[in-house]
Copies of this chain bind each other. A is one copy, B any other.
């Protein structure tokens, strides 16, 4: 079990790796956040590719460096594309991230999320309610908002990690990440991130970008969340509301340095 200090050190080098390798991240994501997600990846130095139609999602999944599957607005074509892309990613041993947006009582995405869970995502990112629902308990949150506190999802996250063999990231005021063996909390971030649509969804794409540059999924997921939430803190210093925050956040993702990470990271 690594110390927070180890993980912060890893984060600093992983950030440089993402920028130098510019991983190609395939995103099958919702219509609300698809633009912001692409801009977040570009700002960070990664290369987004929103290849999300059946017949192309699979072939592209074989060449992408990482994959995000986000259930926010799952059209019939996207649902087929998700399964295609995940099979391809698994064949190619490409890391992929599942974001089970608003699952619980919604009758199309919820069984799809369970089917995707059983295909063993490298990372699952969600709020507490979504993680509890995907672990098999609870009935989800209020739309995209969590009805549960992060720590209420601790047991569910561990159980879910047991099922997927991957990393579970529970987003909230303090993020909680575990792969069932290691566990860390990240106390960085800013409330304005919850006032911008895609604030959570785009983090899933960033986790796919980081996972693409190193096989250590737990550490790359911690690195992604740490860089992302520190960029939010930097952005908030220059923001006067959610509009200017979103703009400053993209600038901060482009500008955040390993030094900023070392100085600002609060892991425990």
Q: Which residues of A contact B (CB under 8 A)?
A: 24, 30-36, 38-39, 42-43, 47-53, 55-56, 59-60, 64, 72-77, 102, 105-109, 142-145, 194-198, 240-244, 246-255
Contact = CB atoms under 8 A, between A and B. Distances in A.
Taken together, the copies of this chain in the complex come to 3
A55 B195 contact: no
Given A32-B48, A244-B247, 15 more contacts: A24-B142, A30-B50, A32-B35, A33-B35, A35-B197, A42-B195, A43-B195, A48-B143, A55-B107, A56-B107, A59-B107, A240-B255, A243-B251, A244-B248, A246-B247
Contacts of A196: 39, 42
A254 B244 CA distance: 11
A49 B144 contact: yes
B142 A56 contact: no
A246 B247 CA distance: 9
Nearest to A25: B143
25 contacts: A24-B143, A31-B50, A32-B34, A32-B48, A35-B35, A39-B197, A42-B197, A43-B242, A47-B143, A47-B144, A49-B102, A49-B144, A50-B73, A53-B76, A56-B108, A75-B75, A195-B254, A241-B251, A241-B252, A241-B254, A242-B250, A242-B251, A243-B248, A243-B254, A244-B248
Mostly, the A contact residues are mixed
A146 to B, nearest CB: 11
Q: Chain B CB within 10 Å — which of A30, A60, A76, A242 has the most?
A: A242
A201 B15 CA distance: 28
Contacts of A143: 24, 47-49, 51, 60, 64
